[in-house]
Amino acid sequence: MKAVLCHQYGPPESLTVEETASPKPGPGQLVIAVKACGVNFPDTLLIQGKYQFKPPFPFSPGGEVAGIVSDVGEGVTNLKPGDRVFALTGSGGFAEKTLAVSHKTFRMPDGMDFTTAASLMYTYGTSYYALKDRAGLQAGETLLVLGAAGGVGLAAVELGRTLGTTVIAAASTDEKLELCRQAGASQTIKYSHEDLRERIRAMTGGQGVDVVYDPVGGPYTEAALRSVGWRGRYLVVGFAAGQIPAIPLNLPLLKGCSVVGVFWGAFAEKQPADNLKNVRELLAFYQQGQIRPHIQATYSLDEVPRALRLMMDRQVMGKFVVTP
Ligand SMILES: NC(=O)c1ccc[n+]([C@@H]2O[C@H](COP(=O)([O-])OP(=O)(O)OC[C@H]3O[C@@H](n4cnc5c(N)ncnc54)[C@H](OP(=O)(O)O)[C@@H]3O)[C@@H](O)[C@H]2O)c1
């Protein structure tokens, strides 16, 4: 089969596309013929050796796939060859076939296409877990989303709207902010040009926001934390800007607010039943028309380096998907 391979850590351009042996399923595993694989920021970190987990070389990046089960290992009883599924694989997805474990593989609902199914788990899974389970977001509250036109950011905007909150979207360009308005943001801030703190103070009458969703880090974090209202929650989701910010700890004290870590991959691993419940709730939102992944572009396996490069250059709005 054809696969994108990483033989050593490096930039996207160091990836190769090669013929390699098809995977064989071990106990509890299944093989999926990949029809679509979502591109996520962690893929850019994985190939550079900057991510939390490090698969042995050579490996394919690509952490969430949708496709057709082609083989099942011992002990897999809930799925069979021919089933249309989507799965969280962590890596291995930028290939014609990949391995998945049965507890992180879900049957696709009728009527859903592979590209959509490969765009739900990482972004909506992360953002739903963050907003619902970690922040306890309530209808009527105000939610500020940084990097709001990116993968997890845009999912947070849609879910914030779905959960009945007022969403303020912050992003770097007018085009990105227009997409955020279409996804449900009622107010927007171009944080590359506008003072984030001043704008939030004006928008909230000095009260601040109830919840901040921060997948960006870097210089925006402190301004956003200073914009949290009394008993607010600050969600630490990621550091796409590349810099892990240090924060003055007097700020959570003065605001009586919580700084809350979000690690969805660990949640899916340690609390599979709770994750399954969230996946089902997300599928219900999809079927009710509340959430719709925005697919900006699809790429072939040969074009994976280009897709990852564009992501590292802040050029993706919503999702890129690879269709082997
Ligand atoms: N904690 C978890 O469980 C979890 C799960 C999934 C992802 N994540 C993390 O969340 C972050 C975002 O992931 P994603 O898939 O949404 O990525 P993405 O689609 O690339 O979005 C990231 C956004 O960050 C902003 N950004 C600011 N500076 C940037 C820079 N130097 N390079 C790239 N983007 C920059 C960009 O928005 P503007 O141009 O508008 O600023 C971009 O849209 C990543 O750090 C990822 O590792 C965490």
The token pair at 122 is: 């990482």
Overall average pLDDT of the 302-311 stretch: 98
Residue 181 lies in a domain: yes
CA 38, CA 15: separation in Å to the nearest integer?
A: 17
Ligand 1 binding pocket (C-beta < 6 A) is: 40-42, 122, 126, 147, 149-153, 171-172, 176, 215-216, 237-242, 262-265, 311, 314, 316
pLDDT tens digits, 14-39: 999 999 999 999 999 999 999 999 99
Distance (angstroms) between ligand 1 centre and the Cα of 96 equals: 27
Let me know how long the chain is: 324
Where a domain ends, among 264, 279, 307? 264
Residue 274 lies in a domain: no
**Quick check: 320 and 154 in contact, CB under 8 A?**
no
Residue of 119, 132, 145, 152 with the most ligand 1 atoms within 8 Å of its CB, for mutation = 152
Q: Give residue 214's domain range.
A: 125-264
Q: Is the dihedral of CA 294, 295, 297, 303 positive or negative?
A: positive
Residue 230 lies in a domain: yes
pLDDT tens digits, 200-236: 999 999 999 999 999 999 999 999 999 999 999 999 9
Same-domain status, 129 and 237: yes
Torsion angle (degrees, nearest 10) of CA 31, 95, 320, 162 = 10
Contacting residues for 184 by C-beta, under 8 A, at least 6 apart? 157, 158, 160, 161, 162, 167
Residue 278 lies in a domain: no
Residue 16 lies in a domain: yes
Residue 139 lies in a domain: yes
Residue of 47, 133, 216 with the most ligand 1 atoms within 8 Å of its CB, for mutation = 216
Overall average pLDDT of the 95-102 stretch: 97
The pLDDT score that the predictor gives to residue 274 is 96
CATH number at residue 208: 3.40.50.720
Which residue's alpha carbon is at the smallest distance from atom 8 of ligand 1? 238
Which residue's alpha carbon is at the smallest distance from atom 21 of ligand 1? 150
Contacting residues for 46 by C-beta, under 8 A, at least 6 apart? 6, 54, 55, 61, 63, 91
Give buried/exposed letters for 303-321 (b at 16+ CB in 10 A, else e): bbbebbebbbebebbbbbb
Same-domain status, 22 and 41: yes
Same-domain status, 137 and 105: no
pLDDT tens digits, 176-199: 999 999 999 999 999 999 999 999
Same-domain status, 80 and 37: yes
Distance (angstroms) between ligand 1 centre and the Cα of 175 equals: 17
The token pair at 205 is: 């009458």
Same-domain status, 239 and 305: no
For 130, half-sphere exposure in the C-beta direction (CA atoms, 13 angstrom radius) is 34
Residue 108 lies in a domain: yes
Residue of 159, 311, 314, 321 with the most ligand 1 atoms within 8 Å of its CB, for mutation = 314
- pLDDT band of residue 52 (cuts 50, 70, 90) is confident
Same-domain status, 246 and 303: no
Instruction: Give pTM, 2 decimals.
Output: 0.96
Same-domain status, 112 and 141: no
pLDDT tens digits, 245-259: 999 999 999 999 999
Same-domain status, 96 and 226: no
Q: What share of the chain is helix, strand, coil (3-state, %, to 5)?
A: 35, 25, 40
Which residue's alpha carbon is at the smallest distance from atom 43 of ligand 1? 150
C-beta neighbour count of 54 within 10 angstroms: 12
Give the count of domains, the chain. 2
187-190 and 166-171 beta bridge pairing:
parallel
The pLDDT score that the predictor gives to residue 37 is 98
Which residue's alpha carbon is at the smallest distance from atom 29 of ligand 1? 241
**Quick check: 144 and 212 in contact, CB under 8 A?**
yes
Same-domain status, 10 and 48: yes
Distance (angstroms) between ligand 1 centre and the Cα of 238 equals: 7
Amino acid identity of residue 310, one-letter, is L
pLDDT tens digits, 136-151: 999 999 999 999 999 9
Same-domain status, 130 and 192: yes
Give buried/exposed letters for 173-190 (b at 16+ CB in 10 A, else e): eeebbebbeebbbebbbb
Residue 169 lies in a domain: yes
CA 196, CA 173: separation in Å to the nearest integer?
A: 14
Burial class of 58 by CB neighbour count within 10 A (0 to 12, 13 to 18, 19+): middle
CA 227, CA 218: separation in Å to the nearest integer?
A: 16
Same-domain status, 94 and 146: no
Same-domain status, 28 and 87: yes
CATH number at residue 90: 3.90.180.10
Amino acid identity of residue 111, one-letter, is G
Helix 151-162, helix 174-183: angle, nearest 10: 30
pLDDT tens digits, 107-119: 999 999 999 999 9
